[in-house]
Every structure is written in structure tokens, then in C-alpha cells.
Amino acid sequence: MSAAQMLSTSLLLGTFVLLAGCYGLLYCLARLRGSGRLGRAAAAAYLFQGLATGLLALGSLELWWKGLLVASFVAFAAIPPLTWRFLERLHAAEEQHS
Amino acid sequence: MFRSQRLALKYFAAAMTLFGIMVAAGLLASTYYVHDGFLLNKLDFSVAKMLHIDTMVIWLLMGFIGSVYWFLPIELERETEGIKLAEIMFWIFCAAVAVVAAVFIFVQYGPATEMSLWFVNQGRKYVEAPRWAALGVTLVVLVFVYNVVATAIKAKKITGIIGVLMVDLIPLFGLYLIAFPSITNLSEDQYWWWWLVHLWVEATWEILIGCIMALALLQLLGTARRIVETWLYIEVALVLGTGILGLGHHYFWIGTPDYWLSIGGFFSALEPLPLLGMVVHAVYDAGAHRMKTTNKPAFYWVMAEAFGNFIGGGVFGFMMTLPQINLFTHGTQWTVSHGHFAFWGAYGCGVIAVIYLALQKARASAQLDGRLWKWSFALLNIGLVGMVGALLVAGIAQAFYERAMGGSTLQAFMQGQSNVWFVQGIVMRAIFGLVFALGYVVLMYDLLTIGKRRVAAAALKPHVAGGPA
Amino acid sequence: MYAADPAFWRAGAISSTLVMLVVLVLLTVDSLATIRPGGANVPPYTVINKEIRYEFDGDAHRYRPVIGADQQLFGQTYSPEEAEKLMRLGKLVIQSRNCMNCHTFFGNGAYYAPDLTKAWLDPAWQQMWMPMTQAATREEAIAAFLMNPEKYPTWSRQMPNLKLSREEAVALVAYLKWMSAVETNGFPIHFGHIQTN
């Protein structure tokens, strides 16, 4: 890996997770406020994360790491909605309980 | 207030004092970088840095222990068992810390003998404290474990949270024993050393702060126990599921087999996933309560914890965790940048949140709020992010110029350190360190006075249901 | 729903932790065998009696330490017992003088002073310190520097004088030589070779 490749790859990796965080945060805010605009912003963040994933996939990492990143990208999509739904159900079940 | 809670307040006071010493040592350490020859042969960089990192470990540990002493009697509905012994151990702990610090500053080095390891300095990062002091810490932790377990037995009750805590105390104690041996073979020495450092900081401590946050949420937001417990178990599963073999990200370059490159890199790369879940959880909680709470500072510091953990640990960690990248970044200021952010986000913010919670009860304040805490919140977080950003720039310069281009020799190191980006980064780090230090001063003033000041009635906005918080 | 039952997640937490711990223990057993002196990646202490080089291995796509012909250290050849004693002293020097809080070893430590993993192989000893100290061998130059760093500065950031005895300095140099022969999977990246692209 050359110096330039190292720099671009590491910054893309950081951006990858940062955008996952943005997507997660925006998704939550969208659910809280019932806002379509925030929902679209969340989708946009996820798309940008996809762009980062694509750039990494085209980069100089070995195939196995590229595969891991793509799989993570898919997993990151599921985390906010699954977690949110789980929390809602958990709180609802608790309310029923009490 | 239970006696255990009074002890907790003492631990918090000691913790915050050490936080201050950590900040002072940090400012001192940053000075060597910008001023060549500073205190050479009088108080070398190694001493300042050692004081800085060791006070960090101990202030957090005292914060955790204090938090448990605070919540335990409430959770188990009885006074902590063996509280008198615990009180004695607190003073022994403080005295030992003071003696060790004095020896570090005034004696500094000994000859290359076992005696030096017993009485002066063991020279292994984070666990430099001489063996006699390590024995003291072991004793303090043992008494702490006894307090927790004995109270649960006497109460004939083990809640889910206390159950997790008790199991977590086994590695908390056991791993610390790695602070004792001196192994000639550096490869093996570092192999075990990383069990202590990583499995404390990225496993045991994560569970410990998870338990403490669970206990805090029960009080702060009145969340139902079942929910808090369920979430704690999920956290344990995900954090240990990724963190135990994530230990492998320290086994890339110390002579261990190269399958660690794949295993360590893989599990380490998974570590951000549970952290995103924690962010979602934090936002859910914030939203569900519409940011309304009887303890504003505690609430904000809990939010800071979730986000700081994600960005400091998750984002910054991910940048450097893949082995082909780490080969360039390992042992540079890039690591320092990640370390500062991760420790702050994962642990610092959490302990401060708990202290605010405890103070609310201690000062019998129905509504804890004010103006000062907002200033310290801003200054500390801006200072921290500024330092981390500056160190990132310096670290990238090193990875690029010293390692990738320069060939990693002494000459390359010297050139990297003189590189304009590096120097700018290191200067900005010192400046933001001052901002952070100012935040600390404001924080201390606020902690000493919040809930005691008579707040004018007009300053308190009435809480109307559905209205703005 | 069972997912709302804490017991379900408790079982998950216990099982995932146990599985990971078992794997860690198994890998540890294997790793310890690899890293013991004389194991696959870590040379025996008597490597201090050999020449050590760092060469690119085409198959592994990385630089690796290469152990060469016999080469005396400080004018002598050490027996296995002598070498082990020397290493033990060298490690005690490193710990008692708190080296890890200025330098890094295998990249671990503090970042104020250079990484010492391959320090034995650093060209600076031949280029700068041997002329400065007038030493006949690399090891004598390193020992002279360590005992009196203030006499042989090469930079505005100076190493402090840690009051090393001759015996301690010799042991420390031997330790650095042994350490440079450990297989570190190519860390630090292309040591000694400057990139032009």
C-alpha cells in the first residue's frame, strides 16, 4: 500500500463509520418527529455511506476486507430500524406488564 | 443517606482531584513537545506522561468504585456490608497513590534490580506503580468485591444488574494480577500486558460502566428495570462478543502468529456496530422523555457518553484498525488521538454524569440545573475534540511522512516530528488542552456549588407538560 | 415476545462470552508456543551472537529479519546461560528506567522518542554515532551513547541521562539486538527504505 492509498483508505474508513452514525441519528430523529424530511436525510446519509463503501471496494484493500466492509454496510442499515423497533416493543411490553 | 453513599462522595471527590492532576500532568507533558530541552534531567517527559496516564486510570477506577458504592445500597435496599473496612481502604488507596506519585516525581529511577520494581517503578505502561502499591490496589479491589458480594448475600437478593456486576468483578480483579510479573521475553510480556489493558478497557470496564449506566438510568429517567436489564445483557453479548477477540488488534506486530491480523482486524472492525445501537438507544431515551429530566447536567453527560463512545471509539478506532493501515499508524499520535477520544467518550463522560446524579440526592435538589454546567460541558468537550483533531493531524503527518515515505528510522522520526503539519498539530493540541483545563476548573466549581446556590425563581422556567423543556 | 425477555438475552450474553473466551484460550496456547524464544517468530537469546539483517521476502510480501553468520557482540560470544542472564538484566534496565514512557517497543509505549523495535538495525549508528563516539563497533557506539547521551546529541530533542552503568548499557544493547530479530509481520513499515512515490 502506498502512502497515498493508506491516507485515502483510512479517511474513507473513518467516514464510513461516521456516516453510519449520521444515518442512525437522523433515522432516530425522523422517527421521533415523524418527519419525512429527516427520513430522507437519513437515507441520504446511508447513500453517502454506500458511496464510501464503493470507493473502498474499488481501492487497494484485499478482497476479504472489501467483503467485510460491504457486509458491515448492509448490517449498519439494519441496526437503527431494528434497534428502534425493539425498544418500542420492549417499552410497550413493559407498559402492558404494568 | 447510607454510609456507603457517603463513602461514594469521598471517592468522587478523590476522583475529581486526580482528574485535575491528570489535566495538569497533561498540560505539562504537552509542553515538552513545543519546548525542546524543557526540564531535561530534572523532570523528564516520561515522568509527566506516566503521571498523566496513571491518574487517568485511577480517577476513572475511583469513579467506578464510587458509583457502585453509591448505587449498591439503593439497589439492594440495605447498607453495604463491610462498609467500615471499605472506608479504611479508601484512605489507604489515597495514601498509596500519593506515595507512588511522590516517588515517581522525586526518586524517578532505580538501578536495574528487582528492588526497583518493588519500590520505585515497574516501567510497564499504565501499571508502572511499584509492586508494593500494586498489592495495595489488589487489596482495595478485593475489599470492594467483598463489599458487593457480601451485601448481595446478606440482602438475599441478586438483581440482574448486580449479577452482571459480580461476574464482571472476577476479571476486574483477576486481570489486574498481570501488573505484577516481569517477563524477560518482550513478546510474551506484551502478550499478557494486553490482556490487562485491552480486556480491562475494552471489555471489563465496558461492562462495569454499562452496569453503572443501567443503575443511573433507573434513577435518572425512571426506566423500567426489565428494560434496563434486557439492554444490559444485549450490551454484554455484543461488547464481549466483539471485544474478547478484538484483543487481537493488539497482536498484529508483537511477534505473534499472523492469523491475528485477520482475527483481530475482523472482530475489531465489528466493534462499532454495538456502539451504533447504543447511540440509537440514547436518542430513543432522550426523545421518549422529550429531553425533560430533573437533572439536566447528568442527562447531557449521558448523551455525551453515547456519542463520544461512538465517535471516539467507533469512528476513530475504525480508521486505524485494519492491519494494513495500522502498519503505518501504530505507535503514532494517531493512536493518541483515538485514545483520548475513546477514553473520554466511553468513561469520562459517564463518571461525570453519575457524580451529578449523586450530588442531586446529596444536596436534596428537586431540579438540578444551572448555567455553569453548560459552560464546563462546552469547554471540556470542545477542548477534547480540539485536542483530538489536532493529534489526528499530527498522527496523519507521522504515518505519511515518517512511516510511509521516510522508512521509519530515527532519521525519519526526527523529520516527521519537524514536519509542519505535525508541529501545527502539536501546538494546537496544547492550546485546546488549555481550553479543556479551563473546562475542568469550571466543572469543579460547579460540582462544589450546584444545588447549593439559591437560584432565582425567575431563572427556573416552569415545566408545562408538552411545553419546551 | 421472547426478545423482550431478559433471560433470553442473558443466555445470549453468557454463551457468546464463553465461546469467545474458549477461542481466545486456544489461540493463546498456540501463540505462546510461537512467541517463546526459539519459537517460530522469536529467536533464541543466543541470536545476539549472529549478524541480523532485514530483507524483503517476495513470497510473504513483507520485510523479515534474517539471521546471518556468526557475529560477536562486545568482542565475545555468549553461551545460552550468559545470553539469558544478559536479556534478564536488559529487560530490568528497560523497566527500571521507564523507557516505555518515552519510546515504543513493537510500537507500544510513548511517542516522544523513536520506536526501538528495529533500533539495532538503524543506519544512524554507523552514520552518526560511530564517528561521534569514535567507537570501533556499533554496539560500543550505542553503549557509549546510552551512558552519556548529553555528549552525543543528534537532535534538539535530547535523551536524558539515566545513570546507566557499563554492565546495564551492555545488557540493554544486547536486548535491542535480540529484539530487532523478532518477526513483527513487517512493523515498522519498510524500515530503512525511503519511498519515492
Contact B226/A94, CB-based, under 8 Å?
A: yes
User: How many CB atoms neighbour CB B212 within 10 A?
Assistant: 24
Digit-coded pLDDT (tens) for A73-86: 999 999 999 999 99
Name the band, by pLDDT with cuts 50, 70 and 90, for residue B294.
Answer: confident
Cβ of residue B203 closer than 8 Å to a chain C Cβ: no
**Alpha-carbon gap: B33 to the closest alpha carbon of chain C (Å):** 8
Digit-coded pLDDT (tens) for B61-107: 999 999 999 999 999 999 999 999 999 999 999 999 999 999 999 99
Give the model's pLDDT for residue B469. Answer: 40
**Alpha-carbon gap: C9 to the closest alpha carbon of chain B (Å):** 5
Contact A86/C197, CB-based, under 8 Å?
A: no
**Closest to C111 (Cβ–Cβ): which among B40, B183, B333?**
B333
Chain A residues close to B315, C-beta within 8 Å: 14, 17-18, 21
Residue keyed to cell 475494552: B202
Contact B280/A64, CB-based, under 8 Å?
A: no
Digit-coded pLDDT (tens) for B33-42: 999 999 999 9
Residue keyed to cell 493488539: B250
Q: If contacts are CB pairs under 8 Å, which of residues 1-20 in chain C contact chain A? A: 1, 3-4
**Alpha-carbon gap: B50 to the closest alpha carbon of chain A (Å):** 29
Report chain B's mean pLDDT, rounded to a whole number: 93
Express as a percent the part of chain B with pLDDT over 90.
Answer: 87
Give the model's pLDDT for residue B468. Answer: 43
Q: If contacts are CB pairs under 8 Å, which of residues 178-197 in chain C contact chain A? A: 195, 197
Question: Which residues, in sequence order, are CB contacts of B217 under 8 Å at separation 6+?
Answer: B223, B228, B285, B302
Q: State the average pLDDT over residues B7-33.
A: 98
Chain C residues close to A93, C-beta within 8 Å: 1, 4
Instruction: Please calculate the CA angle B92-B95-B97 and round it to the nearest 5 degrees.
Output: 110
Report whether pLDDT(B291) > 80.
no
Q: State the average pLDDT over residues B409-433.
A: 97
**Closest to A2 (Cβ–Cβ): which among C1, C4, C197?**
C197
Report whether pLDDT(B454) > 50.
yes
Give the model's pLDDT for residue C197. Answer: 52
Q: Identify whether the C-beta of residue B354 lies closer than 8 Å to the C-beta of residue C131.
A: no
Contact B288/A75, CB-based, under 8 Å?
A: no
Q: How far is B313 from C46, CA to CA, in rounded Å? A: 42
Report whether pLDDT(B342) > 70.
yes
Region label for B437, one of left (φ > 0), alpha (ψ between -120 and 50) or beta (otherwise)? alpha
Chain B residues close to C147, C-beta within 8 Å: none
Q: How far is B138 from B142, CA to CA, in rounded Å? A: 6
Digit-coded pLDDT (tens) for B361-378: 999 888 888 999 999 999
Are β-strands C108-109 and C104-105 bridged in parallel, bridged antiparallel, or unpaired? Answer: antiparallel
Q: If contacts are CB pairs under 8 Å, which of residues 168-197 in chain B contact chain C? A: 182-191
Residue keyed to cell 462522595: B9
Q: State the average pLDDT over residues B441-448.
A: 97
What is the DSSP secondary structure assignment for residue C97, as one 8-state letter? Answer: T
Contact B253/C107, CB-based, under 8 Å?
A: yes
Q: State the average pLDDT over residues B324-333.
A: 96
Low-confidence ranges of chain C (pLDDT < 50): none
Query: Closest residue of B to C172, CA-based?
Result: B112
Digit-coded pLDDT (tens) for B150-178: 999 999 989 999 999 999 999 999 999 99
**Alpha-carbon gap: C69 to the closest alpha carbon of chain B (Å):** 22
Give the model's pLDDT for residue B464. Answer: 44
Q: State the average pLDDT over residues B260-277.
A: 93
Contact A89/C197, CB-based, under 8 Å?
A: no
Contact A68/B311, CB-based, under 8 Å?
A: no
Q: Where are the domains of chain A?
A: 3-97
Residues paired with residue C66 on neighbouring β-strands, in sequence order: C53
What angle in degrees, to the nearest 10, is found between the helix axes of B272-288 and A63-97?
30
Contact B318/A32, CB-based, under 8 Å?
A: no
Give the model's pLDDT for residue B466. Answer: 43
**Alpha-carbon gap: C16 to the closest alpha carbon of chain A (Å):** 19
Residues present in chain B in total: 469
**Closest to B36 (Cβ–Cβ): which among C6, C157, C192?**
C157
Q: Identify whether the C-beta of residue B224 lies closer than 8 Å to the C-beta of residue B232.
A: no
Give the model's pLDDT for residue B453. Answer: 63
Residues paired with residue C73 on neighbouring β-strands, in sequence order: C76
Give the model's pLDDT for residue B233. Answer: 95
Q: How far is B117 from B108, CA to CA, in rounded Å? A: 12
The verdict on whether omega for the bond into residue C188 sits within 30 degrees of 0, i.e. cis, is: yes
**Alpha-carbon gap: B286 to the closest alpha carbon of chain A (Å):** 10
